[in-house]
Amino acid sequence: MYYIVTGAAGFIGANIVKALNARGETDIICVDNLSHADKFKNLVDCEIADYLDKEDFIELLLDDAWEGEIAAIFHEGACSNTMEADGRYMMDNNYRYTVTLFDYCQAEDVPFLYASSASVYGGGSVFKEERSHEGPLNVYGYSKFLFDQYVRRNWGNLTSQVAGFRYFNVYGAREQHKGRMASVSYHLFNQYQATGKVRLFEGSGGYANGEQQRDFISVEDVVKVNLHFLDHPDQSGIFNVGTGRSQTFNDVAVATVNAYRAAQGEPVLSLAQLREQGILEYIDFPEALKGKYQNFTQADISNLRAAGYDAPLLTVEEGCARYVAHLLQSA
């Protein structure tokens, strides 16, 4: 039986492939678009059965190339650029493609574990998996929201597991290809390594400099959630995947810089000391993000816990320390 991972050369997809390998699974079909070829590096240390481009994959799938041989589909493939202005491309790539996979999985009784996004909540202050709290601010968020709505319309007719994961701010290994869309921790690490300084956006939405708050979750925890649902095919639903804790961008800066300094045998510094010494600077808030930026997110993970996922979740301090150690080791 094969596991299919779309977006397999990407950030979360590659981590899922590696985690499946750790379980002894190597019959994995990796699907991705390698027009940005550097993503291949995410799969170099993975064992897979085959790689397919997205267009070839869909054609083969609908021709029943693996009929009765698919254990599950992890659908992580999407355009994740929240600044993407081509709405037609976004909807075709993120919405229509996902509908096609969902319909196939329902017809063939295949578990379907897919990536949604916390962006569906837009500028709201309540982050619970309910329609009344959803209102995306950009076409990326809308593409994810629309598919969640498609799933909801089909709840009464499900023939196999469907689990959608509304990822909050994910950071961790194998995101280096994402460029400006990589996590703030990744950018801060590189800034500090190169210049001895880090930069954050100045305040917005009534928040002081660097005090905007997000629910930052390590990709290690994201993968564990995916595998939990793989192991519990009786559990379907749409679930927030965050820590349930909101922390500031300043927290991320302090954690990232101090993890780096500790690795070099240097003393840790407080937020005030980072500012006083000019290590932490603030830059103008981008015009392009005004009105389209989530200044606060905090996942309500009660549904995730009710589904049986009871593992502890890394804090920013714990997760950034592990991530910085990985980046230093990989350098």
Catalytic residues, by residue number, are 140, 178
Closest listed residue to residue 134, CA positions, set 151, 150, 117: 117
Q: What is the DSSP string of 195-227?
A: HS-EEEE---TTPPTT--EE-EEEHHHHHHHHH
Contact 247, 212 (CB under 8 A): no
Give the count of beta carbons closer than 10 Å to the beta carbon of residue 235: 17
DSSP type of residue 230: H
H or E segment and range at residue 260: helix 249-263
Dist. CA 269–CA 140, nearest whole Å: 37
Contacts of 122 (CB under 8 A, 6+ apart): 134, 135, 136, 137, 141, 294
Show the tokens assigned to 300.
């309500």
Cβ neighbours of residue 34 closer than 8 Å, sequence gap 6 or more? 9, 40, 53
